[in-house]
């Protein structure tokens, strides 16, 4: 009987964890969708709004890089605060700040004010992003981390499908202020919904013993001296963290370059209307929703590193085809594929980062890597803006996005393989519940 009880305990714990994940994911996904509808209304039109306030290409780069810097500050701060404040409360606070900042952006009368308010939005977004991913790590089973992160990314992308179309129609009416009012309203709704997020197991007092404490030979090398095992694991984790930093920094640099050049490129070189710019941007979300969760689940089963590389490979052709001014049908198709690639890369990366931060102070390490890599946005946006301004060729600026995402895919080759036979999952550990050492989870 005692043996049966010991065998059933992990099963009961895993079942409770799946139920908590399902409830948490449902609410988080709903929040993500509502918020992203507003964000996607605004984001592709932000450069055009800045230009209407007199922004030059240099100022556009400063606008994006300023947001990235405050985003990194918010992310870093969230990691330290998460050791004292519950991550679900930080989610609400971060989204609330973001909502208020966008209401202020709608009142901007100059490019300088726009930069300042956009910086405040970055601060709130940074807190919310890290808190959200820490919360997912606290409620998700280790074997489903990529899938859980993929679901959230797909929910954001679902909002992206509708948002740009609405934003394009609003902007077509001649008022570029309205999209920022919309994002303020939707973000406020998401912040209010966050008050009902379920407590993760750590806050309910539910903990699990580590593999060594359980004597699980399948998940811990009990035959090695503890000091030697700690040194080996520490060196391996440092290597993984460095690689993951480079991967995400490259991905963020690609985003910075793209968001700085996409709308002006489509308007000047492709002669697209603001409505079409928004509609095509929404195709990213379509690809993410249709293929993202499926590919994220495969990443959990077949290898997260492998699918991270595949995700980067799905993004790269999209940028090159835009610069080449390919026919519209090909551009549309490449945008859908790239959207799926973004979700796949992001889901795999967050799962790999969660694995690499299983030991020690997860929230600090997690947020530090996320925050520092976010500065890649600065590098990408400033580089793209400078190339555009110095050469007068916006297409060359957009190529920075292709080069940066290529760096991400290549960097993953240096990450240790995590391939799994079909149907095999990673054993559940206690790290998600107890690694922060506080109710922050």
Q: How confident is the model at residue 56 (pLDDT cuts 50, 70, 90)?
A: confident
Token pair 């290409």 is at which residue? Answer: 57
Q: What is the mean pLDDT of residues 105-131?
A: 93
Q: How far apart are CA 185 and CA 409, in angstroms?
A: 37
Q: How far apart are CA 72 and CA 75, in angstroms?
A: 5
What number of CA atoms fall less than 13 Å from residue 348's CA on the CB side?
Answer: 35
**Cα-trace Rg, the chain:** 22
Burial of 65-102, coded b for 16+ CB within 10 Å and e otherwise, reads bbbbbbbbbbbbbbbebbeebbbbbbbbbbbbbbbbbb
Q: How confident is the model at residue 113 (pLDDT cuts 50, 70, 90)?
A: very high
How many residues make up the chain in this entry? 441
Say yes or no to pLDDT of 217 above 60. Answer: no
Say yes or no to pLDDT of 429 above 50. Answer: no
Q: How far apart are CA 413 and CA 276, in angstroms?
A: 37
Contact 429, 210 (CB under 8 A): yes
Contact 70, 122 (CB under 8 A): yes
- What integer pLDDT is reported at residue 25 of this predicted model? 87
Question: Can you say how many angstroms the Cα of residue 40 is from the centroid of all Cα atoms in its chain?
Answer: 15
Say yes or no to pLDDT of 358 above 80. Answer: no
Q: How confident is the model at residue 433 (pLDDT cuts 50, 70, 90)?
A: very low
- What integer pLDDT is reported at residue 204 of this predicted model? 59
Helices (H), 208-273: 211-214, 226-268
Model pLDDT for residues 177-192, shown as the tens digit of each residue: 888 888 899 999 999 9
**Which position has the higher pLDDT, 55 or 296?**
296
Closest by CA position to 296, among listed 307, 312, 284, 309? 307
Q: Domain locations in the chain?
A: 15-202+233-422
Poorest-pLDDT segment among 12-16, 49-53, 61-65, 296-300: 12-16
Q: How far apart are CA 436 and CA 417, in angstroms?
A: 26
The CATH number that domain 15-202+233-422 falls under is 1.20.1250.20
Mean of pLDDT over the chain:
81
**Which DSSP letter does residue 224 get?**
S
Contact 93, 125 (CB under 8 A): no
Poorest-pLDDT segment among 97-106, 210-219, 320-329, 408-417: 210-219
- What integer pLDDT is reported at residue 431 of this predicted model? 31
Q: How far apart are CA 300 and CA 65, in angstroms?
A: 33
Say yes or no to pLDDT of 3 above 80. Answer: no
**Which position has the higher pLDDT, 300 or 157?**
300
Contact 360, 308 (CB under 8 A): no
Q: What is the mean pLDDT of residues 265-277?
A: 86
Say yes or no to pLDDT of 227 above 50. Answer: no
Model pLDDT for residues 236-262, shown as the tens digit of each residue: 778 899 999 999 999 999 998 998 898
Retrieve residue 188's tokens.
């406020």
Q: What is the mean pLDDT of residues 15-33?
A: 74
DSSP symbols for 273-335: -HHHHHHHHHHHHHHHHHHHHHHHHHHHHH-HHHHHHHHHHHHHHHHHHHHTT--HHHHHHHH
Q: What is the mean pLDDT of residues 42-68?
A: 84
- 105 three-class SS: helix
- What integer pLDDT is reported at residue 234 of this predicted model? 60
Q: Distances from the Cα of 400 to the Cαs of 55, 324, 380, 386, in angstroms?
A: 21, 14, 7, 11
Retrieve residue 233's tokens.
């694991």
């Amino acid at each position: 009987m005692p043996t049966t009880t010991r065998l059933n305990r992990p099963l009961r714990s895993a079942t409770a964890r799946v139920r908590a994940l399902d409830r948490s994911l449902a609410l988080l996904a709903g929040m993500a969708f509502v918020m992203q509808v507003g964000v996607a209304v605004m984001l592709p039109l932000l450069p055009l709004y800045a230009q209407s306030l007199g922004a030059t290409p240099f100022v556009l780069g400063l606008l994006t890089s300023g947001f990235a810097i405050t985003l990194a500050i918010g992310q870093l701060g969230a990691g330290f605060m998460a050791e004292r404040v519950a991550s679900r409360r930080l989610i609400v606070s971060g989204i609330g700040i973001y909502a208020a900042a966008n209401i202020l952006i709608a009142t901007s009368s100059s490019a300088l004010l726009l930069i300042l308010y956009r910086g405040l939005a970055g601060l709130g977004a940074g807190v919310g992003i890290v808190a959200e991913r820490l919360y997912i790590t606290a409620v998700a089973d280790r074997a489903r981390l990529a899938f859980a992160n993929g679901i959230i990314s797909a929910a954001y992308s679902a909002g992206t499908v509708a948002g740009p179309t609405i934003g394009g129609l609003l902007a077509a009416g001649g008022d570029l202020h309205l999209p920022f009012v919309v994002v303020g309203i939707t973000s406020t709704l998401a912040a209010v919904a966050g008050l009902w997020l379920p407590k993760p197991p750590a806050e309910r007092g539910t903990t699990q013993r580590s593999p060594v404490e359980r004597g699980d030979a399948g998940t811990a090398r009990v035959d090695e001296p503890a000091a030697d095992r700690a040194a080996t694991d520490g060196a391996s984790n440092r290597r993984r963290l460095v690689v993951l930093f480079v991967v995400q920094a490259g991905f963020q640099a690609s985003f910075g370059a793209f968001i700085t050049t996409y709308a002006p490129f489509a308007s000047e070189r492709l002669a697209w209307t603001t409505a079409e710019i928004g509609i095509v941007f929404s195709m990213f979300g379509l690809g993410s929703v249709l293929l993202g969760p499926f590919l994220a689940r495969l990443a959990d089963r077949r290898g997260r590193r492998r699918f991270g590389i595949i995700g980067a490979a799905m993004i790269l052709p999209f940028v090159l085809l835009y610069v080449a001014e390919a026919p519209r049908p090909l551009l549309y198709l490449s945008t859908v594929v790239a959207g799926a690639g973004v979700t796949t890369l992001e889901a795999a990366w967050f799962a790999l980062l969660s694995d690499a931060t299983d030991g020690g102070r997860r929230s600090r390490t997690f947020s530090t890597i996320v925050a520092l890599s976010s500065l890649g946005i600065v590098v990408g946006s400033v580089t793209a803006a400078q190339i555009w301004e110095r050469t007068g060729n916006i297409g060359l600026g957009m190529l920075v996005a292709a080069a940066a995402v290529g760096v991400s895919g290549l960097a993953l080759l240096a990450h240790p393989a995590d391939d799994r036979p079909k149907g095999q999952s990673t054993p559940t550990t206690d790290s998600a519940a107890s690694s922060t050492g506080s109710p922050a989870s």
